[in-house]
Amino acid sequence: MLTNTKLVSIGSFDLKLNHLLIISILALSFTISFLLRSQAADFGFELNEFDPFFNYRATQYIVDNGVGAYFEWNDSLSWYPHGRDVSATSQVMLHLTAATTYWIFGGGSDLYDFTILFPVVFGSLSIIVIFALVRVIGGTTAGLFSALFFSTSLVIIIRGPIGWFKSEPLGLFFGLLTVYLLLSGINSQNKKVAFAKLIGAGIFTTFSISAWGGNQFFIIPLGIFFLALPFLRTDHKFIIWAIPLYTITTILTSLGFERVSSNFIFGLGGISLIVSTLFFASCIFIQNKSSKNKTRNGLLFLVALLIIASGFMIVNSESQFLPLPSHRYLNALNPFLTTTDPLVDSVSEHATTTIEQSFLFHSVLMIFSGIGIWLIIKNIQNKNSSFIKNDMLFFSLLLGIVGVYVSSTFVRLEVFGSVAVIVLASLGLTALTKQFFQNKPEAKKPIGKLIKLSYVVGIIILLIIPMIFPADGNVFAISKVPPTILNGGSVFPIVSNDWLDSMEWIKNNTSEDAVIAAWWDYGYWIQTKAERATLADNSTIHTGIIENIAKMFISNPDDAWISLNEMQADYVLVFVAGQKLGIDSAESLYVLEGGGDESKKQWFMRIAGVDLSKYLFSDGISATDYFWNNTLLGKTFPFTPVAYVDFQNNEEFPFYLPGLEPVYVKEIKYLSDGNGPLRLVYASPSFSEEKVGPMIGVFIYEVNKEYNLTS
């Protein structure tokens, strides 16, 4: 065939046209991914979201002080006055990998800029890994399809754009590499190569979990796969040592990472991997010792294990002699836990995935996945036409089921759903293509060629449509948003220096030992950009402190002042987002609810455990007069409601009615020279501007240590 034409020989290797085609498609996929992920740079070259700022600071600590010092580091800026044991509570491999690659490839560049590009590079390199993984499962064609799908996957892109120096990009890279090495190892004909790959798989399992704890969800399909492997493979002499080698390597490597060893090895993830491996070895032993009914005996052993494991899980849920995963990971396994923890519920990326979101994320690939499952299973009946082995088919289906299940609980885990759908869709499209391009006599006739051409055009159209529609919901539109610190995480796609200026003001105008009280969302920004200690931050290690901060904000000003002094806070920071209305009036009019603390107040209340009806109207959003007059949070918002408006009918009311929206005027309650519990010492520039449109304001209050409590 033309694709097998030799182009050039390099030693014993012959470079053929099909090799050039593979390289070209992978290069194209890498380029597409890189460009899509880099769109946000048009707004500004900054780290994106919240966690990346801590990860940058931790990487900087390694670069400045060395790896040894990092493992001894207690971060005094975090969770004042407790501090934070960084190596025991962080994504250690993310920091180590970033520091190591910076030493090798940094070339004297600024580390901040290097970490901004880091997720783009590793996220795009993951294309090569998923190609290799799917190639092992279903061949080169399927691997190339997966590379193209991965490069344009909406979920994958939005969880790893430029500046997204956090868990997912590197974690997925290591996680996919783990699965590739494991599957490639157990399919290798060369036992020495298999040995090296299985050891590599075990090492990268630990690396992947250390980089992102969410990679523990890869353990679920692997554990179930091990349970089924004795019934899917007949080469028991090989796999009897291959699987235990992988598991032992994983466990031994995990001992070198404090967080992984405590949360994984001695948790349900590690135990499930160990138990499934023990069953695997025991089942093969039982089958080899059985003179007849080998499969039946193995299945009986499996049923007995499942019954014992179920009983164990029930007992452990009560006694917890094995540590359970954190609430958010349990939530992914048990969706009914979603509303039991308001702190978890308050995080937007923990929201339950809707059907509309799932279709937006996966669209046409869901169709190819379904077709693929049907065609692959059908082709299994004809071994001569099947391009996928039974064990690889089982793993693919297993990965699909687990990926879709865990991703249905909250949006962040849609990355697993995407990987599962990409694998199945690649296999499905490969099976469908093979069906259309079978070398049958009629296929060479004009009508056969026309059908093939129509098929190719139809597939291209189907794959392009989700990339351009809907206009505001395609991969280009959704991935091109400002870095979070430039719009404060508000709903407005604007670029503002308010947060950057505010952090610079704190850094230059407060003492180095100053402590800032703010909602935990902003902790990493304050620590990294302003270089000041905070009471809480995005690691949510001490949820009790977050609850105390919520209670402080919802308390009356006198009680809040007492709490602030007990927590040793020197300043209070609040963030408000809204819009100035273009209405002629004696005073400037605003609507709020733009994604600042004014939009999070209901979560403050839920976490504080107060009666919401006392503070909010029936819509659950608009605040009552009691909130504005009797809570510290209401007093620190420099706005006051003056009317309630029906914008559709252009009607105004002096009181709240369902369906009305409050309108506000500026009013600073705690002046810089006042005698209240707080004094406003800084308001970011946008607050003073009088232009119509989005407004975001950062407000910094000094705690008045000389305040006299009212009687």
**pLDDT for residue 706:** 92
What confidence tens digit (pLDDT) does each residue in 8-46 have?
A: 666 666 666 787 889 999 999 999 999 999 999 999 999
8 A C-beta contact, residue 490 and residue 577: yes
Q: What is the dihedral of CA 422, 428, 430, 436, to 10 degrees?
A: -150
**pLDDT for residue 60:** 98
Span between the terminal Cα atoms of the chain, in Å = 93
Is residue 565 included in any domain, yes or no? yes
220 pLDDT band, cuts 50/70/90, is confident
Per-residue 3-state assignment (H helix, E strand, C coil) for 348-387: HHHCCCCHHHHHHHHCHHHHHHHHHHHHHHHHHCCCCCCC
| Same domain flag for 414 and 513 | no
| Same domain flag for 414 and 527 | no
474 pLDDT band, cuts 50/70/90, is confident
Is residue 219 included in any domain, yes or no? no
Is residue 550 included in any domain, yes or no? yes
Q: Hey, which residues does 703 pair with through a beta bridge?
A: 678
**Using CA atoms, how far apart are residues 146 and 140, in angstroms rounded to an integer?**
10
Say which range, 80-94, 365-379, 567-581, has the weakest mean pLDDT: 365-379
Residue 708's Cβ-count burial label (10 Å; 0-12, 13-18, 19+) is: exposed
Q: What percent of the chain has pLDDT over 70?
A: 85
**pLDDT for residue 286:** 81
Instruction: Give the 3-state secondary structure of residue 488.
Output: coil
Residue of 43 and 382 predicted with greater confidence? 43
Burial 633-655 (b: 16+ CB within 10 A, else e): bbbbbbbebbbbbeeeeeeeeee
pLDDT surpassing 80 at residue 185: yes
Q: Residue 17 is encoded by which pair of tokens? A: 């046209």
**pLDDT for residue 405:** 81
| Same domain flag for 561 and 670 | yes
Average pLDDT over residues 119-133: 97
What confidence tens digit (pLDDT) does each residue in 598-633 have?
A: 999 999 999 999 999 999 999 999 999 999 999 999
Q: How far is CA 243 from CA 94, 216, 255, in A?
A: 27, 18, 19
**pLDDT for residue 309:** 64
**Using CA atoms, how far apart are residues 408 and 350, in angstroms rounded to an integer?**
11
| Same domain flag for 604 and 518 | yes
**pLDDT for residue 2:** 47
| Same domain flag for 612 and 526 | yes
311 pLDDT band, cuts 50/70/90, is low
DSSP secondary structure letter of residue 577: E
What confidence tens digit (pLDDT) does each residue in 563-572 have?
A: 999 999 999 9
Say which range, 91-105, 222-236, 311-325, has the weakest mean pLDDT: 311-325
Per-residue 3-state assignment (H helix, E strand, C coil) for 224-269: HHHHHHHHHCCCHHHHHHHHHHHHHHHHHHHCCCHHHHHHHHCCHH
pLDDT surpassing 90 at residue 512: yes
| Same domain flag for 499 and 385 | no
**pLDDT for residue 217:** 82
**Using CA atoms, how far apart are residues 199 and 243, in angstroms rounded to an integer?**
10
| Same domain flag for 424 and 495 | no
- Is the pTM above the cut of 0.85? yes
| Same domain flag for 432 and 491 | no
| Same domain flag for 542 and 686 | yes
Is residue 237 included in any domain, yes or no? no
Residue 542 phi/psi, 5-degree rounding, is: -105, 85
Among candidate residues 436, 453, 472, the one where a domain is terminated: 436
**Using CA atoms, how far apart are residues 51 and 167, in angstroms rounded to an integer?**
9
pLDDT surpassing 70 at residue 263: yes
Say which range, 123-127, 154-158, 408-412, has the weakest mean pLDDT: 408-412
Return the H-helix or E-strand segment holding 168.
helix 167-187
Residue carrying the six token digits 């249905």: 408
Other beta carbons within 10 angstroms of residue 356's beta carbon come to 9
709 pLDDT band, cuts 50/70/90, is confident
pLDDT surpassing 90 at residue 266: no
Q: What is the mean pLDDT of the chain?
A: 87
**pLDDT for residue 347:** 67
Is residue 3 included in any domain, yes or no? no
**Using CA atoms, how far apart are residues 442 and 79, in angstroms rounded to an integer?**
72
Count: domains in the chain: 2
472 pLDDT band, cuts 50/70/90, is confident
| Same domain flag for 498 and 427 | no
**Using CA atoms, how far apart are residues 324 and 267, in angstroms rounded to an integer?**
6
**Using CA atoms, how far apart are residues 532 and 463, in angstroms rounded to an integer?**
49
Is residue 355 included in any domain, yes or no? yes
445 pLDDT band, cuts 50/70/90, is low
Farthest CA pair distance, the chain: 98
8 A C-beta contact, residue 199 and residue 185: no
| Same domain flag for 426 and 527 | no
282 pLDDT band, cuts 50/70/90, is confident
Degrees (nearest 5) of the Cα angle 133, 139, 143? 50
Among candidate residues 373, 404, 436, the one where a domain is terminated: 436
**pLDDT for residue 1:** 44
Residue of 337 and 700 predicted with greater confidence? 700
Average pLDDT over residues 271-277: 86
**Using CA atoms, how far apart are residues 76 and 297, in angstroms rounded to an integer?**
58
Q: Give 652-661 contacts, CB < 8 A, sequence gap 24+.
A: 656/617, 656/622, 656/624, 658/617, 658/618, 658/619, 660/622, 661/591, 661/622
Say which range, 184-198, 371-385, 542-556, 667-681, has the weakest mean pLDDT: 371-385
**pLDDT for residue 105:** 95
Other beta carbons within 10 angstroms of residue 68's beta carbon come to 9
Is residue 422 included in any domain, yes or no? yes
The number of CA neighbours under 13 Å toward the Cβ of 152 is 22
**Using CA atoms, how far apart are residues 422 and 153, in angstroms rounded to an integer?**
8
Say which range, 70-79, 286-295, 702-711, has the weakest mean pLDDT: 286-295
- Tell me the residue range of the domain where 421 lies: 339-436
Q: Is 292 left (phi over 0), alpha (psi -120 to 50) or beta?
A: beta
Q: Residue 692 is encoded by which pair of tokens? A: 């119509």
**Using CA atoms, how far apart are residues 404 and 419, in angstroms rounded to an integer?**
9
| Same domain flag for 508 and 595 | yes
Among candidate residues 404, 436, 468, the one where a domain is terminated: 436
pLDDT surpassing 70 at residue 444: no
Average pLDDT over residues 131-154: 94
**pLDDT for residue 110:** 96
**Using CA atoms, how far apart are residues 156 and 145, in angstroms rounded to an integer?**
16
Q: Residue 22 is encoded by which pair of tokens? A: 């593979």
Average pLDDT over residues 561-589: 93
The number of CA neighbours under 13 Å toward the Cβ of 279 is 27
Average pLDDT over residues 232-254: 92
Concatenating the DSSP letter of every residue in 643-682 gives EEEETTTTEEESS--TT-EEEEEE--SS-TT--SSEEEEE
Is residue 661 included in any domain, yes or no? yes
583 pLDDT band, cuts 50/70/90, is confident
What confidence tens digit (pLDDT) does each residue in 316-374 have?
A: 555 665 565 665 566 666 655 555 667 766 666 666 677 777 777 777 788 888 877 77
**Using CA atoms, how far apart are residues 520 and 546, in angstroms rounded to an integer?**
7
Burial 407-432 (b: 16+ CB within 10 A, else e): bbbbbbbbbbbbbbbbbbbbbbbbbb
**Using CA atoms, how far apart are residues 635 and 625, in angstroms rounded to an integer?**
11
Return the H-helix or E-strand segment holding 579.
strand 571-580
**Using CA atoms, how far apart are residues 619 and 270, in angstroms rounded to an integer?**
45
